[in-house]
Amino acid sequence: MFQITLKDLTFDEIAPNWANKIMVLRQEGFPFPFSLAWWKWYFELDSPSECIVGEAYGYSSGYEKKCKQCDLLGWEFGHAFLVRSRMDFKDNMEKFVAHWNETHMTTK
């Protein structure tokens, strides 16, 4: 049996591990460039299965071929991180949540 839920998912529900990491971002900002924490973020955001979109897919990179929009959003997270734009990063989170609820919740 599967349940049909009408409630939109929040970012915390879509990607809980990243939501935790992003909490630190809200308090302290992006990690200091080229610090250990920075590299960790960099490699994770650069990895299709480890990045925010990847987590939403259960740490899989399958979306790269399945959904153009998810693929694009994945790259945009990486870009916002590289230019250290918290505003772009937050905008992208909102775009991703909206896209996820609109496209990927209805097809489940």
Sites of contact with Zn ion (CB under 5 A): 67, 69-70
Nearest approach, Cβ of residue 102 and Zn ion (Å):
9
Length of the chain: 108
Q: Which is nearer to Zn ion, 31 or 54 (CB)?
A: 54
Nearest approach, Cβ of residue 95 and Zn ion (Å):
11
Nearest approach, Cβ of residue 63 and Zn ion (Å):
6
In angstroms, rounded to a whole number, what is the distance separating the alpha carbons of residues 38 and 32? 6
Q: Which is nearer to Zn ion, 15 or 70 (CB)?
A: 70
Q: Which is nearer to Zn ion, 30 or 55 (CB)?
A: 55
In angstroms, rounded to a whole number, what is the distance separating the alpha carbons of residues 30 and 32? 6
